[in-house]
A and B are shown apart, each in its own frame.
Chain A
Amino acid sequence: MLLKFWPKNAKPNRRRMVNTMSILVDQNTRLIVQGITGREGTFHTQQMLDYGVNVVAGVTPGKAGQDVLGVPVYNTVKEAMEATQANATVIFVPAKFTAAGVFEACDAGVPLIMTIAEHVPVHDMMLCYALAHQKGLRLFGPNSFGIISPGKSKAGFMAHKIFTQGSVGLMTRSATNGYETAFRLTELGIGISTAVGVGGDMIPGSTFVDLLPDFEADPETKAIVMIGEIGGSEEELAAAYLKKHGTKPVIAFIAGKNAPKGKSMGHAGAIVAADGTGSAQSKESALLAAGAYIAESTYQIGNILKGLGIQ
C-alpha cells in the first residue's frame, strides 16, 4: 500500500516487509465498527477503508440491511460476528452509550474491543473492564486514539499520515503527546511497529503492563516508547514488570511534573493525590531503576532512539 507521508522531507522506511504479523491489529484484522451510521462512525470508517483496513461489518441497532460505504450493517454485534467472523471492534458511539456497546461486544465474545469516546463515566468503565477481564477479552480505551500498526491496519481515529512503519512499539496515555512523538519519529526516519492509545482515563482497559509482554514478544519491535503522565500507578507497575522481564530498550516520558496538585488536568486520570501518590517523580524513579531511559520531552524521545540506532 502506498502511503502519503506528512513531513515532506521524511523518507518512508521501505526496507521492511509489509506482510508480517503485528501485535493486536494487522492484515488479518477483521473489524466491526459499532456506531457506523453515526457522523463520526461513517467518517472514520472511510478513513480506515482508505488506509486498507478490512472493515467487515457495521453495527447500529435498527439499521440492519443498510450498507455504509459498502460495509454491511447489522442490528447486533452477535449477528455481525456470526455473519463475518470478525475479530475486533471499534466503538464510535457517544460516551453515554459506550458501556452498552462494550457490554454487547463482550457478550458476543469479540476478542479485541477498542473504545474511543472521551468522558465515559468511570463507573461504566469499571464494569466494562470487569466483564472483559472475566471473559479474557482485550479492552482498550476509553479516551484513546485507537491502535495502529502502520502500513497494515488500524482501529481508531488517529491521523494515520503521521505514523510510518518501523520497529518502535509506542504506547501512550495522551493522544496529543503520542502524535507529537510519532511526528518527530517520522521526521527522524524512525518508524513504528504498533502504536496503542491506552487512554487518559482513571480506569483504562489494557494498559502499559498488559502491553509490555506483547511488545517484548513481537519480533518487529526493537524498542518500546511509553508515554505516561501523572496519576495512578500504571508506570510503576510497568517498571516492576520491566525489572523482571524487560529485554528491549524502553524510553519513557512522563507528562505533568508541574501540574497543580489535586486538580484534574483534563484527563480524568491525570490527577496527583495530595499525598504525592501518582507523582511524576515516583514514576520516573521507578522506571529509571528498571533500566528505562527517561526523556524530558516528546521531542527528545526520537533523539534517544536515534542515539540507540533504532530505525
Chain B
Amino acid sequence: MKLLEYQAKELFGKYGLTVKKGCVVDELATIPGKIKEAGLQYPVVIKAQVQIGGRGKAGGVQFADSETEAIARAQELLFKDIRGLTAKELLIVEKAEITREWYLSILLDRGSKSPMIIFSAKGGMEIEETAKTHPEAIAKVTVNPFLGIKDYHIDYLLDVTGADKSCKKQLSATVQKLYQLFTDYNALLVEINPLATDEAGELIALDGKIDIDDSALFKLPDIVAYRDHLQEDAMVLEARKFNFLYIPVDENGDIAVMSNGSGLLMSCIDLLAKKGMAVSSALDLGGGATADRIKEAVRILLNSGRVHTLLICIFGGITRCDEVVEGVRLALLEQAEKKTVVIRMEGTNKECAMKIVESVSDQVTTARSIPDAVEILAKKREA
C-alpha cells in the first residue's frame, strides 16, 4: 500500500526525522484558516497529494508568496489530474531554503532477500536520470536484518558517492531512524527524495514515499486508517468487501477473467492477448469460494467497464466446480442483457457442475483447456 506524501511525513515526524511545517487541505475555503493555524510563513509550497512519481514534472507542485496566490495556485491544483490520478488533497508546507539535495531510500531487496540502503549525493527530480547516466553516483548496500544499521554502512555510502563527510553523524542518525520506521511498519520501500540540507546545515525530508506490505496491515491499525484517503478503484473496493482481489487491467479491454489463483489469471490474460483480445479486469477468487460469493464476483466483473464476455478458469481443489457454476447461474439471472461466459474447469465436483451448465447453455459454454477456451472466445468474437 503506497502512502500519500503527508502520510509518509507524519510517520517521518513520529520517528524524529525533520520535515517542514505544513497542513493538509481538501477544500479552498479552509486554506487561509489552516495556514494560520499551522503558523506557516510565506513563501509556501503547494503539493498535490497523489501516489505517483514524476509529480513535480507534471505540474503538481506550485509555489506561492501570499495568501491570495496560495488560494489561486490551490484552485488550479485541487482535483487536477496528475498522470491519471486526481489530487483530492493538497499539502501546503513552508518553502525551504536549501543548499543541496541528497537521495536516500531503504527497500526490501528481492535479490539479497534483505533490506538495502540506496544513497546518492545527487538527489532531487533527476534521480532516475542519474541512475541511468551516472550509476556510479548511486551507492547501494545490503543490511543483515539481524544486525541492522552499522557505522560501516554509512562510511560506505559516503565513500562511494563522495558526499560531504562532515555530515556523517547526521546522515547516520537519519538512516537509523528511517530503518527503524522501515522495520516497524513492514515497509517495502521508504524513500526521502530530496533529503535536503538547509542553510543551518540540518537534513530535512522534503518529500517522502512509503510503500507498506499489504500482508502486514493486520498489525498496523494506523496504516489501515490511512487507506480511506487513498484513491482506489470503486470495483477494487467492492470486491474487497467479499474478500476478492480485483485487478483493473486494460481500460480498452472488454473481457473479464476470473480464476481461483493469480498464476492462472496471468496465464489466461497472456493467451487472450496473444489472440488480440484485451482483458479489462481480472478477479482472483482465492480458495474455497461458495456459490453466493461467486455470484457477487460474477456480478462485479460483468458490471465493470465495457465487459460483455467472461472467461472463468478454475482448477478446483478447495474450490468446488459446482459452486462456481451455480454462482454463475445465479448472477446471470440478474443480468438485463445476455452475456457470454466461457468456463474451463477441472477438479472437485466437475460432473455436478456440467449438469448445471446445461440449464444455462444459451449463455455458458465449457472448454476443455485454456487454449481451447481462448479459441472459443476468438470464434465468438468473429461471429
Contacts and interface: CB of A to CB of B under 8 A. Distances in A.
Nearest to B344: A180
A160 B346 CA distance: 14
Interface of B: 53, 108, 110-111, 113-115, 128, 144-146, 183, 186, 188, 213-216, 218-219, 245, 247-250, 259-267, 269-274, 279, 282, 284, 286, 315, 317, 346-347, 369-371
Interface string A201-244: 01100000000000000000000000101111100010000000
A203 B113 contact: yes
B262 A200 contact: yes
Nearest to B317: A159
Give the top 7 A-B pairs by smallest Cβ distance, nearest first: A174-B263, A266-B262, A176-B261, A176-B264, A255-B266, A121-B216, A258-B273
B210 to A, nearest CB: 14
Contact of A122 (B186, B264, B284): B186
A63 interface: no
A260 B246 CA distance: 13
Interface residues of A, number: 59
Given A123-B108, A123-B213, A173 B249 contact: no
A130 B263 contact: no
Given A122-B215, A230-B266, 9 more contacts: A130-B114, A130-B144, A159-B347, A176-B259, A176-B261, A260-B247, A266-B262, A296-B271, A297-B370
A79 B56 CA distance: 59
Interface string A62-96: 00000000000000000000000000000000011
A201 to B, nearest CB: 9
Contacts of B286: 118
A251 to B, nearest CB: 15
Contacts of B264: 174, 176-177, 180
Given A130-B113, A229-B263, A258-B270, A268 B145 contact: no
Contact of B263 (A122, A176, A263): A176
Give the secondary structure class of A's interface. loop
Contact of A256 (B53, B183, B270): B270
B262 to A, nearest CB: 3
Contact of A274 (B53, B108, B183, B213): B53
A265 B145 CA distance: 27
Given A121-B216, A263-B247, A274-B53, A203 B110 contact: yes
Given A120-B215, A159-B347, A266-B245, A255 B114 contact: no
